[in-house]
Structure formats: C-alpha cells, structure tokens
Amino acid sequence: MGSLSEGPRARRAVVRLATLTAAIASLVVLSACGGAKVGGGGSSKAAGSAAGRGTSSAAPVKKSCGTVSLADNPWVGYEADVAVMAYLAKTKLHCNVQIKHITEQVSWQGFASGQVDAILENWGHPDLVQKYIDQQHVAQDLGWNGLNGVIGWYVPPWMVQKYPDITNWKNLDKYASLFKTSESGGKGQLLDGDPSYVTNDAALVKNLHLNFKVVEGGSETALIQSFRSAQQNKKPLLAYFYSPQWFLNEVPLVKVNLPTYTAGCDSKPSKVACDYPAYKLNKVVSTKFANSGSPAFQLIKNFKWTNEGQNTVSKMIAVNKMSDDAAAKKYVDANPTIVQQWLQGT
C-alpha cells in the first residue's frame, strides 16, 4: 500500500521540478536577450547595470577623435590659443594632436594639402579667404574666437611724455631724426616684426610721404626687447605692434594715430594710406575636418575667450617659462565654467 501512496507524490514532485526548471531556463534566455539589447555589444556587466536602471537602448558611442592638426603661427598669443585647445583635445577628448609651427600664409595652404585642420586666430587675409574659402571651398570660417585685434605703430610712454604731439602721424617727420639708426639710411626707422606678419607699413610710409624706412626686427621677441630697452633707457623707438599682447601690461605702449580707417581704404595694398582696421579675430577650419564628425571640431567651434585670458596664458609661457601644457592646465583648472562651455557637445 505504501508504494501506491508515494507514487502520486513522486509524480507531482517531478512535475513541479520540471516546471521550475523550465521557468529558470526561460529567465536565463530572457536575461541573455535583454543583456544583448541593452549592452549594444558591451560587457555583460555594463548590460546588467543598464538593465537594472530600466534602460532599453544603448548609450551613444562617441566618435573617436583621431588626429587633429593645428597651425601654430609665430607669436606667443597664438601659441596660447594652441596650448589650451591642444591640452583639452589631448586630455578630455583623447585626440592625437599635431602642432604645425608655420606662418600665416603657409597655414592656409595646409587646408588644400590636408596638412592643417584649423587656424585658431586669423588676422584678416581677404585674399586667402577668397582663394581657399570662396573659390576652392577647402576651408570654412568658424566664427569669432572672442579676441579683438589691433595693429598699429607704437612709441614707448616716455616719448609721449616728452613729445606729446608725436602720436599724430602728421608730426612724425618733425621727429624723424630722433629715430635714425645705422640701418635706416639717414631716415627715421620704423621697426617691423616677423616678415610673415600682416603689415601695410612700407606702403603707408610711401603713400603718407614720410621720411622713414621700414626695417625688419625679425621676431616678436625682438620687438618686445626693443621696446623694453627703449623705455628703460629713454631711447626713441617707433615700431609695429599689436594687441592682444601680454607685454602691454608691462609697458603701456602708446599708439600713433594714422589716418582713420574706412571700409575699402586698404583694398589695394600698394595704395594704402590709412590705419589698420579693428580685427574681430576668427577661426578657420578645413572643410574636410568640419565634415569629419571629430569631437575636436566641436571643441574648436565652441572656443571663445578674451584678450585678458590669452594674455594670462601667453605671459605664463613667455615670462614664467612654463611649458604650453603646464600653462594650459593652470588656466583650465582656474576657469572650469569657461572650459565646460568649450566642451559642450564634444
């Protein structure tokens, strides 16, 4: 009798066990399917975490940054631009950054050759804009970088104190003899900087009929040292200079007032007889880079800072002798809100 009573219990136990086994198997299959969907090819750990939050679609995968080639033109303000953009591209976007130490004109040629992705600080160049943006379509204007540029002729402060009318260009010839040097051939010297810089100086001297000769100083460093020496030693100096530039905080150079700039007065370089325009400095990128989907493109598109910001970083590099990365890091750490705006959408 006992064997008859145990038989049904045993059969029911077997049925329950089979049912439980089937249920567990179903859960395993469902879990595996859910993991594959949520994880989007990721690890099972990531998939499980997403499933636990009730997520049913994969997190977007950011596009790899790859290599970014930045032109670095020969003045420390531009170097400051490159320093902060390169540092963020490397540390936040994991880009391979190539920095090309080349002149302004060669930078534009790099758009056509594929060797340059971005110019971070462009000073006009309407002829290059026409060629590479309007005609060849290998480059694009990416907008204002936040910097206001000024180019002009400057004298050290001591000269204005002693000769108050020297800031009027019409009075320059009266003082031409003060500026004579061994290189100016009996005329007053107008000292220029790097020969690659934007300049109308030779045409200005000719068309304003000034008794001066343009002499190339060779570099930004040479210009700064010449002005520093002129102020310290009370030596006459008339020279090309520009803003933004950290040195203006050390020696407040005074700009000479040339004939007022009007639209089109500089359209023919050989006929220029007016001051330089005010520049809203802009960024230019290659069309290929703009269409690449690189997060570095968005970083550069967002990049906008101030003359003061640039001067802060360039002084760290030029005066404090910090490396570009160290100067950039110090600025980035001190300005998280600005940096976050640059990184939006990357």
Tell me the domain boundaries of the chain.
2-52, 69-346
> What does the pLDDT average to over 84-109?
97
**pLDDT bucket at 62, cuts 50 / 70 / 90:** low
**pLDDT bucket at 10, cuts 50 / 70 / 90:** very low
Tell me the pLDDT tens digit for each residue of 19-43: 434 443 443 333 333 333 233 333 3
Task: Say yes or no to pLDDT of 49 above 70.
Answer: no
Q: Which of 302, 290, 284, 285 is nearest to 340 (CA)?
A: 302
> What does the pLDDT average to over 130-156?
98
Quote the CA–CA distance of 277 and 146 in Å, as a whole number. Answer: 16
In sequence order, the β-bridge partners of residue 70 are 99, 118
**pLDDT bucket at 64, cuts 50 / 70 / 90:** confident
Residues 327 and 317 sit within 8 Å (Cβ to Cβ)? yes
Quote the CA–CA distance of 295 and 162 in Å, as a whole number. Answer: 54
What sign does the CA torsion over 14, 18, 24, 27 have? negative
Q: Which of 78, 74, 63 is nearest to 284 (CA)?
A: 78
pLDDT computed for residue 27 by the predictor: 34
Task: Say yes or no to pLDDT of 300 above 60.
Answer: yes
Range 69-346: architecture per CATH: 3-Layer(aba) Sandwich (3.40)
Task: Say yes or no to pLDDT of 188 above 70.
Answer: yes
pLDDT computed for residue 61 by the predictor: 59
Tell if the pTM clears 0.85, that is, is over it. no
pLDDT computed for residue 8 by the predictor: 36
Tell me the pLDDT tens digit for each residue of 247-272: 999 999 999 999 999 999 999 999 99
Task: Say yes or no to pLDDT of 308 above 70.
Answer: yes
